[in-house]
Amino acid sequence: DIQMTQSPSTLSASVGDRVTITCRASQSISDWLAWYQQRPGKPPKLLIYDVSTLKSGVPSRFSGSGSATEFTLTISSLQPDDFATYYCQQDNTHWTFGPGTKVEI
């Protein structure tokens, strides 16, 4: 099975900061990598799929990059709505989520 890791597990930041979250896969997943945002008490929302494709309606301050086993999610200028937990997920072989990164104030 493909295992996903994320770093950091928690990130403290301020409004306006540039934030980067890293996701690693235990083996190559080509470009089958998605990112989700989850606010407390809410279901996850898809932000990015296929490494770097923004879902329609997602603000352009979110971007994704990477390949094979290492990927990043970047928020260019953190907004109040962005304080949430972010999960990466591979869909190369079945589906596996990373453990999450909590972005807090």
Q: Which residues bind another protein (CB under 8 A)?
A: 1, 32, 34, 36, 38, 43-46, 49-50, 55, 87, 89, 91, 94-100
> Residue 16 region, left (φ>0) first, then alpha (ψ -120 to 50), else beta?
left
Nearer to another protein, 55 or 61 (CB): 55
Least spacing, CB of residue 12 vs another protein, in Å? 19
**How many whole angstroms separate alpha carbon 77 and alpha carbon 89?**
23
Least spacing, CB of residue 64 vs another protein, in Å? 11
Least spacing, CB of residue 76 vs another protein, in Å? 22
Q: Are 29 and 69 in contact (CB under 8 A)?
A: yes
Task: Look up residue 38 and give its two tokens.
Answer: 């989850």
What does DSSP assign to residue 55?
P
Nearer to another protein, 65 or 96 (CB): 96
Nearer to another protein, 18 or 104 (CB): 104
Nearer to another protein, 15 or 104 (CB): 104
Nearest 10 degrees: CA dihedral of 31, 81, 74, 9?
-90
Least spacing, CB of residue 85 vs another protein, in Å? 8
Q: Which amino acid is at 76?
A: S
